[in-house]
Amino acid sequence: MTGLVRAELLKLRSTRTALGLFIVILVITLVPLGILVFALPKDLLEEAGVSGFLATASSLVPLVLLVFGILGMTNEYRHGTITYSYLVTPRRWQVMVVKLTVYAVVGILTMIVAVALVYLVIKLGGAVRGVRIDASGGSTLADYARQIVVAGLTTTFGVGLGALLRAQVITVAATLIWALAVENIIVLIKPAVGRWLPFIVFDQVRAMELPDDGAGMLFEQFTRPQAFALSLAYIAVVSVAAVFISLRRDVT
């Protein structure tokens, strides 16, 4: 297993996918954040606080990490490197477990870096503009920790989807459409069904504010432990299905 971990880390270091997506994360978080910090009136800066800007700036990071997980797996099939992994380690479930673990760690570390950079930009921007921006804004370390955990969950879910579906472009496009549009439509039409959908479940782990009909939430949310357990179940089901199907597929 140690050799598989080293091989997985080598793949991440030797390809441009990880670096490219990390640059994308920096761009989608820091550029809009910088514009907001230096363009908003000072009273709005003080009112928003660090947590408000952090939630806005980091909202797209899990989706980028989702794509990163999908690419990390589908690239293996696209370039044929998965064949060597399976030849060295015939037990394919071990390859999947290692990949899920490594990508979970990478997703978590990436989110930690993103959160730290966002915090730094906000504090520096406030200092430059002479505004004291509230560091807590009603949020706690647990709130930030949940965002970081969800980043790891979505990254591994992307790995599972990539292993199951294999087709890179189709998987990325279909997953983003499902996450950004289809699930939200289902939530509005059938809230009782929508609360069980994977990305809505991830949002419940993060405790993001979901669509409101003016009289409260559209559905009764799961508790955070329940949502977390359900998230792990989704990842496990997709990954087990991917391993099961791979045993009946030719990967050469």
128-184, pLDDT tens digit by residue?
Answer: 877 776 655 555 677 778 889 999 999 999 999 999 998 899 999 999 999 999 999
Q: Report which DSSP code applies to 130.
A: T
Does the structure show a pLDDT above 60 at 213?
Answer: no
Q: Round to whole Å and give the CA distance between 210 and 204.
A: 8
How sure is the predictor about 214, in pLDDT bands with cuts at 50, 70 and 90? very low
Q: Round to whole Å and give the CA distance between 179 and 62.
A: 11
Q: Say how many CA atoms lie within 13 Å of 125 toward its Cβ.
A: 27
Q: Round to whole Å and give the CA distance between 55 and 61.
A: 10
Q: Is 196 exposed, middle or buried (0-12, 13-18, 19+ CB in 10 A)?
A: middle
Asked if residues 171 and 165 have their Cβ atoms less than 8 Å apart, the reply is yes
Residue 98's identity, in one-letter code, is V
pTM listed for this prediction: 0.85
